[in-house]
Structure 1
């Protein structure tokens, strides 16, 4: 069965709580039979993430703050030691300083732009580089984007250019890693009430607008995003790479 993930080992980066997109994806991976490694941001976040890691039966639970020197390297060294291989990776992290996120792109600081790009985009490239030698028989790399990468979305501000860079990176990584049978995707969910999204100014209004404009007048769920991520991690998606995969109830076709 091509949709099965039995015997596959995957890394999930970005679970903050039980409403995180990454958690919805992790649940779908487990239901499909995958073995998981899960990360947590820091000691402050650990009490919220550790019970979820336990509920998922994760074999590894490790810190990963991409802003801290050496943590990404230590994470992949642990994966290499424990498993020696990796079949899929989910990158679901993003950050921009509030003052830069809430202001005009025109006015964003160099420091804020650099941090947003580092956490939200370059960290995916770094993880792809470290995952490459572990994906000896191919694999799938997934990251999370948003429609604001393609079109201007009111109040998405700095994250628009950052996510556009992320989507471009997906295409280049797909070409570079394709000869090793490593597929690369950006999953683009519609707006969801997550901890990360709460930093966007008047985000509730954005969700209301998305629900009103979507063809079925509804928002997606983390479970629906997870089902798509599990498909992309499976052999059923073997003929796809470099895609931006929208999971937004069709909002992108009318937005």
Structure 2
């Protein structure tokens, strides 16, 4: 259905942890739609889990990127510039919070843990955008991943709620700033998914079951569902869509 929609476009996908992660679903759908992809992995430990996805999508660039390591992000974008000379889209799908801070109440979150969560989950998007803009001379699209906990209080989501709120605010400001360059910035807000990142949340199985019950469709979303939304948002079909948070949650977010 989406075949050839992105033919001729080139993009960077950051945040694949394994073939079950949201970013892997996005990469697979983007590739199926005809896009050429650069893919990153966080470190040598994660590389064997990411490499099968990079191979599946025939990524000509497969590079290390730990956003906490100075210089690595610049190296990735330099490689893209050398290989392609330009870039059409970026998918940013990374978030992190130290376990003790994630599992504790917001009022107990440490300064160090909060700063690290904001740096990896939010400021990395700002840095990535700054490096992507010079390669998007003909416009482009930047996507990141949020969650309903940015808007409403979700049990056990804790400090990641305020972090995702900051992420969505950043999306709006970047969209306003980059609109004159025809660069669109959007967030996707998937419903709860059985991913490695999600499993780090306390009582995550209860969250999944509650989401299934609460969503009007009474089903959970898949990484393929999120990938299809990513294809639509980076395609020319969405060239007037920017600054949005697009929900892919079976209607979960409309329940009061």
TM-score, scaled relative to structure 2: 0.98
Matched length: 255
**Which position in structure 2 is the counterpart of 1:232?**
233
In 1, Cα distance between equivalents of 2:155 and 2:52: 36
**Which position in structure 1 is the counterpart of 2:248?**
247
In 2, Cα distance between equivalents of 1:216 and 1:90: 27
In 2, Cα distance between equivalents of 1:145 and 1:63: 23
Q: Is the Cα–Cα contact under 8 Å of residues 3 and 234 in structure 1 kept in the other structure? A: no
3-state DSSP of counterpart to 1:141 = strand
In 2, Cα distance between equivalents of 1:139 and 1:157: 33
**Which position in structure 1 is the counterpart of 2:198?**
197
**Which position in structure 2 is the counterpart of 1:154?**
155
**Which position in structure 2 is the counterpart of 1:29?**
30
Deviation at 1:87, TM superposition (A): 0.2
| Residue 105, structure 1, aligned to residue 106, structure 2 | yes
Q: Is the Cα–Cα contact under 8 Å of residues 40 and 61 in structure 1 kept in the other structure? A: yes
Deviation at 1:239, TM superposition (A): 1.2
In 2, Cα distance between equivalents of 1:7 and 1:101: 41
**Which position in structure 2 is the counterpart of 1:51?**
52
* 1:205-224 mapped onto 2 (5 Å cutoff): 205-224=206-225
Deviation at 1:52, TM superposition (A): 1.4
Deviation at 1:176, TM superposition (A): 0.3
Map Cα deviations across residues 162-208 of structure 1 (whole Å, 9 max, x no partner): 00000000000000000000000010000001111111001010010
3-state DSSP of counterpart to 1:173 = helix
**Which position in structure 2 is the counterpart of 1:9?**
10
Instruction: Could you tell me which runs of 5 or more consecutive residues in structure 1 were left unpaired when the two chains were aligned.
Output: none
* 1:33-112 mapped onto 2 (5 Å cutoff): 33-112=34-113
**Which position in structure 1 is the counterpart of 2:119?**
118
Deviation at 1:3, TM superposition (A): 7.4
Alpha-carbon RMSD across the aligned residues, in angstroms, is 1.1
In 2, Cα distance between equivalents of 1:220 and 1:2: 22
Change (3 A) 1:233 1:2: farther
In 1, Cα distance between equivalents of 2:144 and 2:132: 14
Instruction: Could you tell me which runs of 5 or more consecutive residues in structure 2 were left unpaired when the two chains were aligned.
Output: none
Q: Which runs of 4+ in 1 moved over 4 A?
A: none
